[in-house]
Each structure stands twice: as structure tokens, then as C-alpha cells.
């Protein structure tokens, strides 16, 4: 009985993660293909797992991703830039978190976000800078 209950709990937690829509996890295998997709505006949070500011901001970033899970033109993503330094290096990630929006027309460098770390401010920046 306990195993069955444990299994149901584990499955429920997994499904909640899928339903709540977390930011897409980037890595060396998928980074270029996702960021360079000319049909998408890709907003990336370059983070380090040990960074307190990153950990504080992550729930808001995942809520932001959830708000855009059905948006065909936008990808909200994260990259562990401490683990994948070679991937982050060309984008001049100097500190954590670094947020960059790669619009459909600016895939080379992206535009760094400097605003407040709130859902409202992320939305405003995305709406102002995104390319249709």
C-alpha cells in the first residue's frame, strides 16, 4: 500500500512540474538550435545554482515561463552558466543572473535585461523588444 501511495505521489509531482510549465532547460546540445531559431524570441536566464539572487528569482522566472507556455513565438529558458561556461562565454555573462533576450532579428548577442526582477517588468521588456 505504501509503495502504491508513494508512486502516486511521485507521478503527481512530475505532472505538476509539466502542468506548471517551467522554463526550458538549455544545455550544450540544444542551446544553439533554440537560441538561433529565427521563428522565436528567446529570453534566457544565465544562472549559477549557488547564486542567491538566482535562486530568489527562479520562482518568478518559472511563473513567467508558465505565462508563455502556449506562446508559439516566445521561449523562456534557463542555462546553468556555471556548469556550461563554454556555452555562456560568447554572450559576455559577467555575473549571475544575467538575462538576455535573443529576438528573431538579434541572435548574435541578444539584448541584456537590466530592469527589476518582477513578472510585470519581464513582460514589459519582452513586449517592447520582441519582434513579431
Residue 14 phi/psi, 5-degree rounding, is -60, -45
CATH of the domain at 84: 3.40.30.10
Q: Tell me which residue of 117, 123, 127, 125 sits closest to 58, measured CA to CA.
A: 117
User: Is pLDDT of 7 > 60?
Assistant: no
Q: Decide if 13 is inside a domain.
A: no
Q: Tell me which residue of 110, 61, 115 sits closest to 90, measured CA to CA.
A: 110
User: Is pLDDT of 131 > 90?
Assistant: no
Confidence class of residue 111 from pLDDT cuts 50, 70 and 90? Answer: very high
For residue 1, what pLDDT is reported? 55
Are the C-beta atoms of 42 and 34 separated by less than 8 Å? yes
Q: Decide if 14 is inside a domain.
A: no
Q: Decide if 10 is inside a domain.
A: no
Q: Decide if 98 is inside a domain.
A: yes
The string of pLDDT tens digits covering residues 41-84 is 999 999 999 999 999 999 999 999 999 999 999 999 999 999 99
For residue 17, what pLDDT is reported? 37
Q: Decide if 60 is inside a domain.
A: yes
Instruction: Report the number of distinct structural domains present in the chain.
Output: 1
User: Is pLDDT of 100 > 90?
Assistant: yes
Taking residues 104-111, report their average pLDDT: 95
For residue 132, what pLDDT is reported? 82
Q: Decide if 102 is inside a domain.
A: yes
Q: Decide if 30 is inside a domain.
A: yes
Buried b (16+ CB within 10 A) or exposed e, 43-59: bbbbbbeebeebeebbe
For residue 98, what pLDDT is reported? 98
Q: Decide if 4 is inside a domain.
A: no
- Which one-letter DSSP state was computed for residue 23? P
- Which one-letter DSSP state was computed for residue 16? H
Domain range for 116: 24-130
Amino acid at each position: 500500500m505504501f509503495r502504491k501511495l508513494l508512486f502516486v505521489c511521485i507521478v503527481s509531482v512530475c505532472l505538476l512540474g509539466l502542468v506548471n510549465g517551467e522554463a526550458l532547460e538549455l544545455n550544450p546540445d540544444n542551446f544553439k538550435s533554440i537560441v538561433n531559431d529565427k521563428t522565436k524570441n528567446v529570453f534566457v536566464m544565465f544562472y549559477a545554482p549557488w547564486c542567491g539572487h538566482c535562486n530568489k528569482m527562479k520562482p518568478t522566472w518559472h511563473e513567467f515561463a508558465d505565462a508563455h507556455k502556449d506562446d508559439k513565438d516566445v521561449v523562456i529558458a534557463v542555462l546553468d552558466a556555471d556548469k556550461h561556461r563554454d556555452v555562456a562565454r560568447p554572450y559576455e555573462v559577467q555575473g549571475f543572473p544575467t538575462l538576455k533576450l535573443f529576438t528573431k532579428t538579434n541572435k548574435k548577442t541578444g539584448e541584456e535585461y537590466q530592469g527589476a526582477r518582477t513578472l510585470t517588468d519581464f513582460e514589459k521588456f519582452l513586449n517592447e523588444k520582441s519582434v513579431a
